[in-house]
A and B are shown apart, each in its own frame.
Chain A
Amino acid sequence: MGIKFSLLVVAALIAVVFLGVKVVGMYYVFGVIIPYLAILTFVGGFVYRIMNWARSPVPFVIPTTAGQQYSFPWIKQNKLDNPSTTAGVIGRMALEVLLFRSLFRNSKVELRDGPKLTYQWEKWLWLAGLLFHWSFLIIFIRHLRFFTEPVPGFVHLADTLDGILQVGLPGIYLTDGLILATVTYLFIRRVVIPQMKYISLPADYFPLFLILALATSGILMRYFIRVDLLKVKELAMGLASFHPTVPEGIGVMFFIHFFLVCTLFAYFPFSKLMHLGGVFLSPTRNMPNDSRMVRHVNPWDYPVKVHTYEEYEDHFREKMIEAGLPVEKE
């Protein structure tokens, strides 16, 4: 159900832009208006989501404690898996964001004949996920060559490293193949594993199909149905410098690719893709395990009126002395 629906939506998006550009000729709409709306939606939505999360109180100290906590000096603490300081948290977060450390611990549990419970080393999701995200980042950086003039050095570096095989002309990018392979893996995984299929929703399939279509259209445009890059850059530079123009004669393939990326940007803040920002706001990852050193006050605690023993004694001291009860202050 979710698969068909998502596939239909992506197909409809491609049909819309194809008809819009090829038949109706709405170059300005798809070349200027929709991209600006998409980036505005992205920025506005992103800020809204983050601020919404920032307003949510964290009631308890709930870091995942995946190693030995800070204890006696003769017990070695696992500073990355159970950090007690800000530096430790930064280290853990960096490993989480850059290397997906907690996903690396992924294991598969199976009940076998016997009955016997088995735990299996399962790294494929981690590997595919990591390669997918890094490929996407490198592809994103590479694309800055269309949005900057002069092109900065780190964009050249990404481009050179990605095309290091120097196969064919235009040269094959490693990330092009990797992103197709990994997105396909992530999709197949959802379909083949029954439990995964059961919990998968259109919101899971749609981004996969969208990214698959995005990568495919990009690859088609680079190697097969080529467009005039000078005009593409003129359009992109116009957008980046707020002097939008749509040069004539850019192939429809570009508009399909561009519309899909606009869809991705506009869809981003309202979807699971917000884990880009959300990972940094995960209390299980961003809190130090220091509940024995620092008191964490639950922000939503009702302000209870307390009556301490000192106040109690002040109140009843004379009566207590009269009754012969011990008091702390005479």
Chain B
Amino acid sequence: MKIYNANKIIPGLIIFLGLITFPMWYNMGKAAPPPEIKFDTPVIQQMAVKQCVLPKADMRTGHMQLLNEWRTQVVRNGYRTYVAADGKEYNMSLQNECIKCHSNKTQFCDQCHVYAGLQLGSVPYCWTCHIAPKEAK
């Protein structure tokens, strides 16, 4: 059967298919495995029990919410102390507490944020106010 206006419809259809299959040709068949999170900072290596404020799985999915809560507690309510589930007390501070262990920002924070498609330096916007740890390159 005859196809009408094929000179317009076919190119339009090809453009649409090109757009919709964008991820398939953009990556050119390269799978990207997720980055390994590095815990090999000097402070962590010296720790007897390698334990963060929450279990690892909870930190992986919920660290942003925890940090946000800490921000609210410190800045708005004036509380500085966080009591973990095991009774251990932490100072609610990104710069003084988190970074003490996780001093490897580029490998600990940035790698995953970039992999998850966040724009470094703008999302999340932690380091627009906080001072990033100095790292040996």
Contacts and interface: CB of A to CB of B under 8 A. Distances in A.
Interface of A: 42-43, 46-47, 50-51, 54-58, 144-152, 155-156, 159-160, 163, 166, 168-171, 226-231, 233-234, 237-238, 240-243, 245, 249, 277, 280-281, 299
B116 A145 contact: yes
B23 A148 contact: yes
B115 interface: yes
B60 A160 contact: no
B56 to A, nearest CB: 11
A241 B27 contact: yes
A223 B13 CA distance: 37
A280 B122 CA distance: 38
Which 4 pairs, one residue from A and one from B, show the smallest C-beta to C-beta distance?
Answer: A145-B117, A147-B23, A149-B32, A240-B23
Interface of B: 1-6, 9, 12-13, 16-17, 20-24, 26-35, 57, 60-62, 64-65, 67-68, 112, 114-119, 122-125
A169 to B, nearest CB: 4
A87 B56 CA distance: 59
A238 B24 CA distance: 10
B13 A160 contact: no
Contacts of A57: 2, 4
Contacts of A148: 22-23, 26-27, 117
Contacts of B27: 147-149, 237, 240-241
Contacts of A243: 29, 31
A129 B21 CA distance: 26
B50 to A, nearest CB: 19
A153 to B, nearest CB: 9
Contacts of B32: 149, 233-234, 237, 241
A58 B117 contact: no
B17 to A, nearest CB: 7
B17 A144 contact: no
Contact of B33 (A54, A145, A150, A234): A234
A270 B121 CA distance: 43
Given A151-B117, A240-B27, A226 B123 contact: no
Contacts of A150: 114
B31 A55 contact: no
A249 B125 CA distance: 28
A54 B123 contact: no
Contacts of A168: 68
Given A50-B9, A160-B122, A240-B24, A277 B115 contact: no
A162 to B, nearest CB: 10
A229 to B, nearest CB: 5
A169 B13 contact: no
B116 A54 contact: no
A49 to B, nearest CB: 10
A245 B31 CA distance: 10
B116 A233 contact: yes
A242 B61 contact: no
Contacts of B24: 240-242
Nearest to A242: B29
A56 B119 CA distance: 47
Given A151-B117, A159-B123, A171-B123, A43 B20 contact: yes
Contact of A226 (B17, B62, B67): B62
A233 B114 CA distance: 11
Contacts of B2: 55, 57, 299
A54 B3 CA distance: 5
Nearest to B120: A156
A302 to B, nearest CB: 15
Given A58-B4, A229-B116, A230-B112, A170 B13 contact: no
Nearest to A280: B12
24 contacts: A43-B20, A54-B5, A54-B6, A55-B4, A144-B22, A145-B117, A147-B23, A159-B123, A160-B122, A160-B123, A169-B124, A171-B123, A171-B124, A228-B60, A229-B116, A230-B60, A233-B32, A233-B34, A233-B115, A233-B116, A234-B33, A234-B34, A240-B23, A241-B30
